[in-house]
Amino acid sequence: MSNLATTIAAHDKRHALRPWTNFEAFEADPQLVITQGEGAWLEDIEGKSYLDAVGGLWCTNIGLGREEMADAIADQVRQLAFSSTFVDMTNTPAALLAAKIAEKAPGDLNRVHFTTGGSTAVDSAYRMVQFYQSSMGRPEKCHVIARDNGYHGSTFASMSIGNKPGDRAPEFHYLSETIHHISAPYPYRVGAGMDEAAFTQWLVDEFEAKIAEVGADKVGAFFAEPIMGAGGVIVPPEGYLKAMWEVCQRHDILFVADEVVTAWGRLGHWFASLDEFGVQPDIICSAKGLSSGYLPIGAMIYSDRIHDAISADTSRWYTSGFTYSGHPVCCAAALKNIEIMEREDLLTHVNEVGPYFEAQLATLADLPTVGEVRGRKLMMCIENVADKASRTLHPDEVNIGKRISDKAEELGLIVRPIGPLNIMSPPLIITRADVDTIVDRLGRAIEMVHRDLAQ
């Protein structure tokens, strides 16, 4: 390592607590210090290049290094670097972005509450459910139902709504009295042995049973990612989301779509709920691709129907929000990001390159450790197993996903390890040649790990 790399690594180990730190690995593993990014490619402090098949963290949709993004951000900093949006104040980029989001969102989702990211968007949706139901004269209808293996963020409320085992550290406490969980629509694991229609009906019946257990007069909302992201890129069976939405309609339960990952183009639509799955949510949570990661911003988007209810009594105060809600520079970045996506017709591009990515990645399914290749368009995953026939996982100490990602990194490819999984969510701008590079290098990494384990 160069002197600079050694210094940076020492500072990081001495002073930084990074998200999702495993303390043993933090001390033992070398850091990957990234210093530059261009398009879908990154460069580390030693000058080595990597194809970023993770898209930062599901977010660098338009790619890195865009000069016009830098110019838009700099221009806004010069004009107005900050302005509060509390109570009776706003700013031009925030108002324009709210209107642009409403234009893109499905149905009557014309109201926007700006947040600092995806976690705070979900947290705000959780609070909106309570506020709405109380405004309707049903303060006891404050319970919510979500799914096992879901990931909804890392604030207290959003982490409690999520229920991914690897995230449930025993040292933390979680909300539990008003948050309930049902099975994930996970055909490879939960639904093994059932056909698609039978599995969907089983999931719907479980949802109905949970509502009955809690009480329909107490359940205020159902939280769901259209495709479950960090929980394993779990694509639901055909008709599942629509059926769950219909249950919500029957019981006057709000349908909250967590589109922090799936919105802004990842599945080839501005939003996936309606266009991909035929579901009209009451609330959508979004972030990540809203600014393509250039600056932190999120949005809770909710219906006119909800707004009419909460604003009917004009003496009410909606006491929720953040210092950086509607931050003018972040909003300017998001506006420019959407402009670029529109001008370059990136949604069409995703609908062309996405199926190619699915097909090429599927060629790795015959490798010995690959149990399943799954996902849709630019949201893909490989689940690694010890035995393909029984779908038995490797022991935790094998750390199969991390082993594969480490080998891929050696080959100049970044994929995300989560337990036995390797997850990919590349920038929307990737080409077919980039897809071929991802598949080639990942395949080689998997084969290298398989040989190591066989020795």
pLDDT in tens, 218-270: 999 999 999 999 999 999 999 999 999 999 999 999 999 999 999 999 999 99
Handedness of CA 147, 103, 302, 286 (dihedral sign): positive
Instruction: Of 19-33, 293-307, 349-363, 421-435, give the lowest mean pLDDT range.
Output: 19-33
- Residue 181 DSSP one-character state: E
CA nearest to 419, candidates 443, 442, 438, 394: 394
Q: What is the pLDDT of residue 366?
A: 96
Q: How many helices (H) and strands (E) does the chain have?
A: 15, 15
* Phi-psi domain of 34 (left: phi exceeds 0; alpha: psi -120 through 50; beta: other): beta
Rounded-to-integer distance, Cα 364 and Cα 118, Å? 32
Place of tokens 């806004």: 76
Q: What is the pLDDT of residue 126?
A: 98
Q: Is the pLDDT of residue 353 over 90?
A: yes
**Segment 420-444 mean pLDDT:** 98
**Segment 276-295 mean pLDDT:** 98
Q: What is the pLDDT of residue 5?
A: 85
CB atoms inside a 10 Å sphere around CB 21: 10
CB 132 within 8 A of CB 170: no
Q: Kindly report, residue by residue over 46-77, the tens digit of the pLDDT.
A: 999 999 999 999 999 999 999 999 999 999 99
Rounded-to-integer distance, Cα 271 and Cα 284, Å? 9
Q: Kindly report, residue by residue over 110-126, the tens digit of the pLDDT.
A: 999 999 999 999 999 99
Q: What is the pLDDT of residue 1?
A: 72
Task: State both tokens at 98.
Answer: 């709210």
Rounded-to-integer distance, Cα 245 and Cα 240, Å? 9
Place of tokens 């990211």: 117
What percentage of the chain exceeds 70 in pLDDT?
Answer: 100
Q: Is the pLDDT of residue 24 over 90?
A: no
CA nearest to 207, candidates 245, 152, 176, 160: 245
**Segment 78-100 mean pLDDT:** 98
**Segment 332-345 mean pLDDT:** 98
Q: Is the pLDDT of residue 284 over 80?
A: yes
Q: What is the pLDDT of residue 28?
A: 81
Write the burial class of residue 362 (CB in 10 Å: 0-12 exposed, 13-18 middle, 19+ buried): middle
What percentage of the chain exceeds 90 in pLDDT?
Answer: 93
CA nearest to 53, candidates 455, 322, 375, 335: 375
Q: What is the pLDDT of residue 344?
A: 98
Rounded-to-integer distance, Cα 443 and Cα 290, Å? 32
Cβ-Cβ contacts under 8 Å for 3 (sequence gap 6 or more): none
Q: Own/partner pairs for 421-424, CB < 8 Å, 24+ apart? A: 421/232, 421/233, 421/381, 421/382, 421/383, 421/384, 422/381, 422/382, 422/384, 423/54, 423/229, 423/230, 423/232, 423/233, 423/380, 423/381, 424/53, 424/54, 424/361, 424/375, 424/379, 424/380, 424/381
Helix, strand, coil % in the chain, rounded to nearest 5: 45, 15, 40
Instruction: Of 7-16, 263-272, 387-396, give the lowest mean pLDDT range.
Output: 7-16
Between these two residues, 174 and 2, which has the higher pLDDT value? 174
Q: Is the pLDDT of residue 182 over 90?
A: yes
244-256 burial: b if 16+ Cβ within 10 Å, else e: bbebbeebebbbb
Q: How would you classify the pairing of strands 413-414 and 416-418?
A: unpaired
Q: What is the pLDDT of residue 26?
A: 81
CA nearest to 154, candidates 298, 6, 319: 298
Q: What is the pLDDT of residue 64?
A: 98
Task: State both tokens at 153.
Answer: 């963020």
Question: In Å, how far are 71, 280, 344 from 37, measured between CA atoms?
Answer: 17, 37, 20
Rounded-to-integer distance, Cα 69 and Cα 73, Å? 6
Handedness of CA 346, 348, 354, 360 (dihedral sign): negative
Geometric angle at alpha carbon 406, from 43 and 266, rounded to 5°: 65
Q: Is the pLDDT of residue 30 over 90?
A: no
pLDDT band at 25 (very low <50, low <70, confident <90, very high): confident
Q: What is the pLDDT of residue 65?
A: 98
